[in-house]
Amino acid sequence: MEISQIIPHIEALVFASEKALNANDITELINNAFGFLEERITLDQVESALNGIQEKYSTEFYPFELKQSGGGWQFLTKPDFHKTIAQLNGDKFLKRLSNAALESLAIIAYKQPITKGEVEAIRGVNSDYSIQKLLEKELIIISGRNENMPGKPLVYATSKNFMDYFGINSTDDLPKIREVLAEQIVEATVVKPEDFTDTSVFDQTHELEEAIDAEENEDTPNTESETDGYEAQDSSDQD
């Protein structure tokens, strides 16, 4: 089957699916649909078709695009139309996570798998409520127990919904911690005195030096003139 024939089937699958589909899922679904035995479509063909579809919907003529998100491919509306779509969903669409929930979620995302006790040790506060909310929103899952810790506490990790929520394809797409910290580093502001005056410090200093020199010239006799007079007087006395 030619790639041009595969494309509409891929578009239909991605459009109709309730979850993100990866290239392997799409390959298997299309082969099963057509019952291919000898001439099965390949993963390379599907990936080439996905790239073509992505390029097609990236143009300004479409309000949505094909993106990798939530561990697979999805049709997502473009950012320019988010406010319009929000009218359909009201407050539910605009609801945000609390700071406490975001803190816990960030720790779990970067340290997973991790226990609640370890999250609390990093945050310095009780995290029962925020972790419960994250579980309810299906942003995290219980991935097992830590067999090496006393009591074998539950271990938490991020879910596929987490990737979908933040528009990433895997946790590898998360910003690196060193990059985040680098953005938070603020250079010290150099405060210059001239920033608070109309005249620069250089000009003020120069004027002050000239004033001091003028005062010294008024109070100090002219050494050269006095010497000349003294020498002249000596000459007259000798005569």
pLDDT in tens, 135-170: 988 899 999 999 988 889 999 999 888 887 777 877
pLDDT of residue 231: 46
Residues 146 and 66 grouped into a single domain? no
Which one of 33, 67, 89 terminates a domain? 89
Boundaries of domain holding 215: 193-238
pLDDT computed for residue 200 by the predictor: 52
Which CATH number do you get for residue 164? 1.10.10.10
- Pairwise CA distance, residues 66 & 57, whole Å: 7
Give the start-end residues of each E strand in the chain.
Answer: 64-69, 72-77, 114-115, 140-145, 154-158
The last residue of a domain, from among 62, 89, 116: 89
- Nearest Cα neighbor of 53 from 73, 32, 27, 82 is 73
Residues 148, 113 share a domain: yes
Domain count, the chain: 3
The per-residue pLDDT for 36 is 62
pTM of the model: 0.56
- For 28-42, what is the mean pLDDT? 82
Q: Are residues 101 and 179 in the same domain?
A: yes
Q: Is the per-residue pLDDT at 92 higher than 60?
A: no
- In tens, the pLDDT along 8-20 reads 999 999 999 988 8
Euclidean distance between CA atoms 156 and 122, whole angstroms:
15
DSSP state at residue 145: E
Structure tokens at 77: 């509306």
Domain identity same for 18 and 56 = yes
> pLDDT value at position 35?
79
Q: Is 50 exceeded by the pLDDT of residue 102?
A: yes
pLDDT number for residue 105: 93
- When pLDDT is averaged across residues 41-48 and rounded to a whole number, the result is 92
pLDDT at 207: 65
Domain end: 55, 89, 123, which one? 89
Is residue 160 domain-shared with residue 211, that is, in the same domain?
no
Instruction: List CB contacts of 200: < 8 A, sequence separation 6 or more.
Output: 194
Q: Is the same domain home to 73 and 8?
A: yes
Residue 185: its pLDDT value, please?
A: 54
pLDDT at 37: 58
Confidence of residue 69 (pLDDT cuts 50, 70, 90): confident
Q: Which of 9-18, 66-75, 213-222 has the highest mean pLDDT?
A: 9-18
139 shares its domain with 170 = yes
Q: What's the confidence (pLDDT) of residue 61?
A: 92
Higher pLDDT, 176 or 95: 176
Percent of the chain whose predicted confidence (pLDDT) is above 90: 39
Is 100 found in the same domain as 83? no
Pair 31, 69 in one domain: yes
Do 111 and 171 belong to one domain? yes
Average pLDDT, the chain: 79
Q: Are residues 158 and 177 in the same domain?
A: yes
Query: Could you tell me if 176 and 197 lie in one domain?
Result: no
